[in-house]
A and B are shown apart, each in its own frame.
Chain A
Amino acid sequence: MSFYSLAKRNALRKPLRAVLLIICIAIAFLIYGLTTSFLGGAQSASAASEDILGITSAGGRAQALPIQLLSRLADIPDVAAVGYVARLRGYAGVEKNRIAVSAADMPRLMQVNGKGLGLTPALLSAMDGARDRVLVGRALAEAQGWVVGQRVTITAFDVFRQAGGRDWRFEIAGIFDGETASTDTYFMIARFDYVNAVRARGRDMVDAFVVLPSPAVSPAVLAARIDARFSSSATPTQTQSEKQFLEAFLRQYADVGLIVNLVVGAAFVTLLMIVINTMIFAIRERTFEIGVLKTLGFSRGHIVALVLVETFFVVLLGGSVGLSLAWLAAQLAGAELGLVFSGAVLAKGVAIMVALSLATGALPAIAALRIPVINAFRTR
């Protein structure tokens, strides 16, 4: 028997209680694993490049920029390529089935971020011919059940057509996959020339420029340079990495991340209380034994270590089961559900386990320390 197995023995001495506790912890970590994998997947900016810069109006994302800035941006040293997008937000069929359309100049988008989005020359040429053609991201296409050649109607929230109405009809020319599994592909790309020509308002305005920095320059330096160039112009800009940009964008549109964090947070706070409560009970039941151990010469450090090892054991066991189930779900249904169980999800999960163990162990440990050694020789 070792010190560790003594703690383990303590943890498992009431098997039913231990199993219930472990299941409870496993469920919390399953919720964590699934939701963060979801964030890490379809909804996430995690695969977005740190290198590509997004330029929006310093006055806020809702404010558009004139397309004329394009040539001035292209002239800035170390700008390797520059593109632009106008966003069209709407829905397909029912209002809650939200669809984001980015209208872009295709060759320029290809130059700036063709690799990241998984755009191929074949996809690009498929967009030629008709102006209303679109490329649909894999995740979006699978979720909607769309196929190449299909015509789809997107009802825009606020982009009206000159001819009246908000219904935009597009023809699907191809499906892009994204560079990796965690690339956000839940959107579609339309041709800017088409959207720009047909929309009722905002002619020649774009929501953002995207810039590919030359390899010689750090993106942060170039971002500062761009903002400095326009700071005292009529159109001051705010330049961020694509990742920052996307994160900010997601936050503004619907703060999925915040909601998920709140859900996960609530699950963990509940869990924390259940585990602390159970552990304090377990320690209280052991007042006598802890008193004996102290009498035998076990120090305060030993007692705290015993309690902490016990909580670590329970939390790590439950957490591993939960994360393993989440991982399994991502393997089995990751593509359909947009789950990506990345190393970051795992690392954060392990960090939460450690923090949770310490947090749940602390109070019971203090309770254990309070148990007086003096009881040893009192008659009972």
Chain B
Amino acid sequence: MTETPDIYIRLESVSKAYRIAGQAIPIFSGLDLAIPRGDFVAVMGPSGSGKSTLLNMLAGIDRPDAGRVRIGTHQLDQMGEAARGAWRAHHMGIVFQFYNLLPMLNAAENVELPLLLKPLSARERRLRVERVLDLVGLSGRERQYPGMMSGGQQQRVGIARAIVADPGLLLCDEPTGDLDRTSADDILEMLQTLNQVLGKTILMVTHDPQAARLAKRTLHLDKGVFVEEARAPR
């Protein structure tokens, strides 16, 4: 494989298996992937095909059994747990299907969480939180608690939290999987804006073909290999 200049994410010959009752169940063997900076990729595939496992490896939460995972200049498979955690705090935002907001914190506090890991003053943190909450259309709801919000609103908080530390990469695991159509479209539009306007590289796992259509391209993961979906240029 020749090195394209701005390949942001590169997986090379990645293998991963889970051991269940002493038996190795392979998920991938020799998986390759290259994603340029600024791309918006939808990943689809049947349940159990390893989409979440892939995201875990890209997030540095899980490690491949073999092969290489590089993001930017960081070789994730070579880094220890602590280094991967620190890297995650600074370079990546994660959007979860079930939002994963902390119930005892209000919207602004949830969004502020990743900033506690940065050397910022309380004032700077507050300004940044205000800015991203505004960006996701939640101005005025800073003090609401997750329990009092709709799914769509909670996911906006989730997105605000993912981008508040200004990471280059967003990983989304079924970000609209729990939302009705209207809310889902709102969220997808927001992701598209983040990609087009702010230049975030986005990798989104989804079961929703309509969601996939908003991405720049779609990869199908099945039986351990990626197949790019042919698509008429927009």
Contacts and interface: CB of A to CB of B under 8 A. Distances in A.
A9 B112 CA distance: 14
B102 to A, nearest CB: 5
A302 B117 contact: yes
Nearest to A14: B104
Interface stretch (A23-31, A173-181, A205-213, A290-298): A290-298
Q: Which of A3, A288, A292, A294 has the most chain B CB atoms closer than 10 A to its own CB?
A: A292
Interface string B158-169: 000100000000
Interface stretch (B38-46, B69-77, B92-100, B210-218): B92-100
Contact of A376 (B90, B94, B104, B117): B94
Interface residues of A, number: 26
A380 B94 contact: no
B62 interface: yes
Given A1-B105, A376-B94, A377-B52, A296 B113 contact: yes
Interface in A77-114: none
A370 to B, nearest CB: 13
A298 B104 contact: no
Contacts of A2: 116, 122
Contact of A296 (B87, B108, B114): B114
Task: Kindly name the residue among A1, A13, A297 whose own CB sees the greatest number of chain B CB atoms within 10 A.
Answer: A297
Contact of A299 (B86, B94, B108, B112): B86
B interface secondary structure, majority: helix
A3 B59 CA distance: 24
A324 to B, nearest CB: 29
Size class of the B contact interface (CB-based, 8 Å):
20 to 34
Nearest to A288: B100
B104 A292 contact: no
A233 interface: no
Interface in A323-380: 373-374, 376-380
B109 A1 contact: yes
Contacts of A288: 100
Contacts of B117: 296-298, 302
Contact of B85 (A1, A9, A297, A378): A297
Interface string B137-175: 000000000000000000000000100000000000100
30 contacts: A1-B108, A6-B109, A6-B113, A6-B116, A10-B104, A13-B104, A288-B100, A294-B85, A295-B59, A295-B61, A295-B94, A295-B100, A296-B89, A296-B113, A296-B117, A297-B85, A297-B86, A297-B114, A298-B85, A299-B82, A300-B81, A374-B56, A374-B61, A374-B62, A376-B96, A376-B100, A377-B52, A377-B53, A377-B55, A379-B97
Interface of B: 52-53, 55-56, 59, 61-62, 81-82, 85-90, 94, 96-98, 100, 102-105, 108-109, 112-114, 116-117, 122, 161, 173
Given A13-B104, A297-B114, A377-B56, 12 more contacts: A10-B104, A289-B102, A295-B94, A299-B82, A299-B85, A300-B82, A373-B61, A374-B61, A376-B100, A378-B52, A379-B52, A379-B97
Question: Across chains A and B, which 9 residue pairs bring their CB atoms closest together, nearest first?
Answer: A297-B89, A377-B52, A297-B88, A13-B104, A292-B100, A1-B109, A377-B173, A377-B55, A297-B85
Interface of A: 1-3, 6, 9-10, 13, 288-289, 292-300, 302, 373-374, 376-380
